[in-house]
Structure 1
Amino acid sequence: MTSPDFPDTSSMLALLGPAGGLEVAVDRPDADVVALPLTVVLCHPLSTEGGSISNKVVTMAARSLRELGANTVRFNFRGVGQSAGSFDHGNGELQDLLAVVAWVREQRPDDDLWLAGFSFGAYVSLRANDTVLPDALISIAPPAGRWDFDKIVTPVCPWLVIQGENDEIVDPQAVYDWIDTLKRKPDLVRMPDTSHFFHRKLIDLRGALQHGVKHWLPAA
């Protein structure tokens, strides 16, 4: 499989990943937005619980970033949608992410590259951060207490964590306790009355995300 060029318009495409083809959605900023030299790779929640690139939190996060001028790249982890392979407990999924990042950097060498993830996707992107060394990192409901965070290297880049206070899947206190152990802490946004999937709070998520990252955006 030949690596495709980065598309000029929003497109679905296939990349060759470690386990076979990876289904990828590339979206460009709308025509009325000043495009920035920035591409954000977003990771979806747990594959075995229905997580995919169409998850509403992931799509809202991507939309929010495109409204600021970023390109966004969402992809299905192995075994999801048209992506080959099977669930690998975060290890193969990490390799999937690294393959997508390598393609983005090959295609967009002059862009800043950010990583973002929701739930399991936040875990995978955090695991990748010391290899990728992104220009910024966004973690939405990082699943501390559900996955092994002990070996995660604390990001050195600008880093935003958004956590719902009524999360019924990720224990908010476990997230706060984990952050308390870090020598370098992220910018933390606690969203009151907010469940794991941000039911009726997606517009609030959009605002929190855009406000949290606006000072990190590269110049047009």
Structure 2
Amino acid sequence: MAQPSFPAASEVLLLDGPAGKLEVAVDLPEAADARPLVAVVCHPLPTEGGTMHNKVVTMMARALRELGATTVRFNFRGTGQSEGGFDQGAGEQDDLRTVVEWVRGARQGDALWLAGFSFGAYVSLRAAATLHADALVSIAPPVTGRGWDFGDIEVPDVPWLVIQGDADEIVDAQAVYAWVDGLKRKPQLVRMVDTSHFFHRKLIDLRGAIQHEVKAWLPPA
């Protein structure tokens, strides 16, 4: 079955995914600010309430959209209107691949950035090399204690930002810093003081940090 056309205005639609329908939200920047760039944003753990409407996810998308990116959020299988069931990160990579292939087919020539929060950071990093992402944004990547293996992730040689709250009660901040220190090619790391996992009272600071760090990576308008 043919996938729906990429919308010319902000819209929520359903794609045919590997486990059934995938719920996708496309949001366009102001026309005067638009750049040849699409950022696909992945949400946190669905078994703990994570969806594409999570406040950190929507703030990530907003920050990138204000820089001229078209943003695509989507619900992993079994979340919202997306069909199927949770698959421990493996099937979720296939969901992401479906969304990226749809974006690339419709927006040929545009840069593709992958962004993710918590579990979404794991999924987007795990798939980044095979999807040939042009840049990466990872917020609170759950490097230990959650069952996700970051040890053999192949990260492409592209601009990469990691943001971590020092007071994260879910992801061990010190483990994230140690993981970054052990990488051969290190990302840009922003450590946010007195900041919890869900960036309570820090969402505007998160927006500013994202925009400050990635502005130099933007393709020309």
Could you say whether these structures have the same fold, taking a TM-score greater than 0.5 normalized by the shorter chain as the test? yes
- 2:133 aligned with 1:168, yes or no? no
Per the normalisation by structure 1, the TM-score is 0.98
> Does the CA contact (< 8 Å) of 1:44 and 1:55 recur in 2?
yes
**What is the distance in 2 between the residues matched to 1:5 and 1:197?**
34
Partner of 2:23: 23
1:26 offset after TM fit, Å?
Answer: 0.2
Per the normalisation by structure 2, the TM-score is 0.97
**What is the distance in 2 between the residues matched to 1:154 and 1:105?**
20
| Amino acid of the structure 1 residue aligned with 2:43 | H
| Amino acid of the structure 2 residue aligned with 1:20 | G
SS of equivalent residue, structure 2 residue 96: helix
1:50 offset after TM fit, Å?
Answer: 0.4
1:149-183 CA-to-partner distances (Å, cap 9, x unmatched) read 11211331100000000000000011011111111
1:53-95 CA-to-partner distances (Å, cap 9, x unmatched) read 1000000000111100000000000000000000000000010
**What is the distance in 2 between the residues matched to 1:128 and 1:44?**
14
Q: Which runs of 5+ in 1 are unaligned?
A: none
1:110 offset after TM fit, Å?
Answer: 1.3
Partner of 2:126: 127
Identity of aligned residues (%): 70
> Does the CA contact (< 8 Å) of 1:133 and 1:157 recur in 2?
no
- 2:191 aligned with 1:196, yes or no? no
Partner of 2:154: 153
**What is the distance in 2 between the residues matched to 1:153 and 1:24?**
26
**What is the distance in 1 between the residues matched to 2:53 and 2:187?**
27
SS of equivalent residue, structure 1 residue 154: coil
**What is the distance in 1 between the residues matched to 2:152 and 2:95?**
19
SS of equivalent residue, structure 1 residue 60: helix
| Superposition pairs of residues 1-220 of structure 1, within 5 angstroms | 1-31=1-31, 33-145=32-144, 146=146, 147-220=148-221
Q: Which runs of 5+ in 2 are unaligned?
A: none
**What is the distance in 2 between the residues matched to 1:18 and 1:185?**
33
1:30 offset after TM fit, Å?
Answer: 2.5
**What is the distance in 1 between the residues matched to 2:120 and 2:33?**
28
For the aligned residue pairs, the C-alpha RMSD in angstroms reads: 0.8
| Amino acid of the structure 1 residue aligned with 2:105 | E
1:15-42 CA-to-partner distances (Å, cap 9, x unmatched) read 11100100000000024x4100000000
SS of equivalent residue, structure 1 residue 151: coil
Q: Which runs of 4+ in 1 moved over 3 A?
A: none
**What is the distance in 2 between the residues matched to 1:204 and 1:121?**
20
**What is the distance in 1 between the residues matched to 2:199 and 2:2?**
38
SS of equivalent residue, structure 1 residue 26: strand
**What is the distance in 2 between the residues matched to 1:150 and 1:182?**
10
| Amino acid of the structure 2 residue aligned with 1:177 | A
> Does the CA contact (< 8 Å) of 1:154 and 1:182 recur in 2?
no
**What is the distance in 1 between the residues matched to 2:13 and 2:103?**
13
